[in-house]
């Protein structure tokens, strides 16, 4: 029974109940059903399909921090074609087990086994789950030091930074068990150097995933309302990242992407206004610029250029008429229309770290064109019309793709992909002096302050 297990697991594996579970999970032969065919051909290898390359890393982090609820949100449709589906299924199965959902736990663990999960990894995760249960029991017995020791053992040997992750997992379990605040505050900072923020029982759900490492220096902001500062806080640790700017506008004035461009990032722009398209191509010769608008389907459509105002041009006739009624000069033209799926497919391979939609009232049409395209930017910004109160029809499109709103600044709403929910702490508050950003002197109300 214990053949193939690492030495540290052998003692625990000799416990009778655990022995049976490990035998079942670690690839031992299953009883054959009566009259079952004995020489079936092996199942064909699943075809290669687009997948989220960061999904396994995000799931590992959620496992390390004990974020069982978020792990169990992963579904078969996200994992079935993933090249790491066996490992992902293991993590999802153990998360169900930790939430006392034994039926789904067994289903996912069996699925992991069918997808070729290594027996040793199965056993490690199973034993890690046992240690996590022991840690919770120790917390209930008011033995926090022993609890932390168990949480460390649950993480060690699986992957990750065991000391830091075990502190955060301990904090999460405090909250999950509903222990008194005073007890949590006294017990949680168990190790020298433990973060002071962990000393409250209310913190775990917010601190369950650490913020990304801070960038070496702040960004130069060109954006209308410091949107680039918020994105840089979350993503500035990434080198040579990628963005998609739909309705990009001027290459510098009010540009969300210009600061990233100056720090080595590159991306794709979509801009239907001829003057802005020409300016983008001149200013960014090494980036693709699509002279088109984004709509539900690829076609040709009318577009209304507002000559005096960068960013007000629109595909919505009613909005154009309103601008004209207030004194703006509006020119109608026909431009190509692309669906969002077609835009995303033209991006270079690799993660898309952020995408902004500034489509002046056509949010529903633009997002409906995402279709079945599997590419998922980590962060999606939607430039909204008429403020940010209430709900919008297009939000259902984002929710269906696993996005949740994490921040709004009165102009843009920020949505974070479920697979990168660990970045949400970067959006807990607005820009401030600690972001160490500089104003460009070009663009909107904030950026232009630097030139006064």
Mean predicted lDDT score pLDDT of the chain: 75
Give 317-350 pLDDT, tens digit per residue. Answer: 777 777 777 777 777 777 788 899 999 999 999 9
Residue predicted with more confidence, 397 or 161: 397
Mean pLDDT of 153-179: 67
Residue 180 and residue 105: Cα distance in Å, rounded? 30
Residue predicted with more confidence, 82 or 34: 82
pLDDT at 55: 85
Token code pair at residue 256: 């969300």
Residue 126 and residue 145: Cα distance in Å, rounded? 22
Res 211 pLDDT > 60: no
Res 31 pLDDT > 80: no
Res 396 pLDDT > 60: yes
When mean pLDDT is compared across 42-46, 311-315, 407-411, the lowest value belongs to 42-46
Catalogue all structural domains in the chain, each as residue range(s) with its CATH number: 7-29+50-207 (no CATH), 220-451 (3.40.50.150)
Containing 360, the helix (H) or strand (E) segment is none
pLDDT at 1: 42
Per-residue pLDDT band for 102 (boundaries 50, 70, 90) equals confident
Per-residue pLDDT band for 138 (boundaries 50, 70, 90) equals confident
CB 333 within 8 A of CB 302: yes
Distances (CA, A) of 91 to 171, 177, 224: 20, 22, 42
When mean pLDDT is compared across 33-42, 256-265, 334-343, 433-442, the lowest value belongs to 33-42
Task: Return all residues near 332 (Cβ < 8 A) that are at least 6 apart.
Answer: 302, 303, 304, 305, 320
Please report, rounded to a whole number, the percentage of residues in the chain having pLDDT higher than 90.
25
Closest CA to 357 of 374, 342, 340: 340
Per-residue pLDDT band for 62 (boundaries 50, 70, 90) equals confident
Residue 93 and residue 99: Cα distance in Å, rounded? 10
Mean pLDDT of 201-228: 61
User: Helices (DSSP H) in 358-431: which residue ranges?
Assistant: 363-368, 395-400
Q: What angle do CA 145, 147, 152 make, to 5 degrees?
A: 95
Residue 270 and residue 246: Cα distance in Å, rounded? 5
- Phi-psi region at 360: left, alpha or beta (left = phi > 0; alpha = psi -120 to 50): left
Residue 98 and residue 132: Cα distance in Å, rounded? 8
* 180 exposure class (CB count in 10 Å sphere: 0-12, 13-18, 19+): exposed
């Amino acid at each position: 029974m214990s053949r193939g297990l690492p030495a540290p697991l052998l003692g625990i594996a000799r416990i009778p109940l655990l022995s049976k579970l490990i035998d079942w999970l670690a690839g031992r032969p299953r009883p054959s059903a009566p009259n079952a065919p004995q020489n079936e051909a092996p199942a064909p290898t699943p075809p290669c399909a687009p997948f989220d390359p960061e999904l396994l890393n995000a799931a590992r982090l959620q496992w390390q921090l004990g974020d069982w609820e978020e792990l169990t949100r992963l579904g078969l449709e996200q994992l079935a074609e993933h090249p790491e589906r066996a490992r992902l299924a293991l993590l999802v199965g153990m998360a169900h087990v930790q939430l006392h959902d034994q039926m789904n736990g067994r289903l996912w663990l069996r699925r992991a086994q069918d997808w070729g999960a290594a027996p040793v990894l199965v056993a490690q995760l199973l034993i890690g789950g046992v240690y996590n249960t022991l840690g919770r029991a120790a917390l209930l017995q008011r033995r926090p030091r022993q609890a932390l020791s168990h949480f460390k053992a649950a993480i060690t040997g699986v992957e990750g930074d065991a000391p830091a992750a075990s502190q955060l997992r301990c904090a999460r379990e405090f909250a999950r068990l509903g222990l008194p605040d005073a007890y949590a505050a006294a017990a949680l900072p168990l190790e020298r150097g433990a973060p002071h923020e962990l000393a409250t029982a209310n913190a775990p759900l917010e601190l369950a995933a650490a913020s990304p490492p801070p960038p070496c220096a702040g960004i130069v902001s060109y954006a209308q309302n410091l949107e680039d500062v918020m994105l840089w806080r979350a993503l500035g640790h990434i080198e040579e990242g990628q963005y998609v700017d739909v309705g990009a506008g001027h290459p510098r004035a009010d540009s969300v992407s210009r600061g990233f461009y100056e720090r080595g990032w590159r991306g794709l722009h979509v801009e239907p206004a001829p003057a802005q398209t020409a300016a983008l191509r001149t200013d960014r010769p090494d980036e693709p610029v699509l002279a088109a608008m984004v709509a539900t389907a690829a076609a040709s459509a009318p577009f209304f250029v507002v000559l005096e105002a960068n960013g007000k041009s629109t595909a919505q006739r009613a909005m154009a008429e309103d601008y004209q009624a207030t004194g703006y000069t509006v020119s109608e033209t026909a431009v190509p229309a692309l669906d969002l799926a077609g835009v995303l497919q033209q991006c270079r391979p690799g993660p898309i770290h952020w995408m902004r939609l500034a489509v002046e009232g056509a949010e529903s049409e633009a997002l409906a064109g995402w279709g079945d395209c599997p590419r998922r930017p980590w962060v999606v910004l939607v430039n909204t019309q008429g403020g940010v109160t209430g709900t919008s029809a297009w939000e259902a499109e984002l929710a269906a793709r696993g996005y949740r709103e994490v921040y709004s600044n009165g102009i843009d709403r920020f949505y974070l992909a479920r697979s990168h929910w660990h970045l949400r702490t970067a959006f807990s508050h607005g820009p401030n002096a600690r972001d160490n950003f500089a104003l460009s002197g070009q663009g909107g109300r904030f950026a232009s302050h630097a030139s006064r």
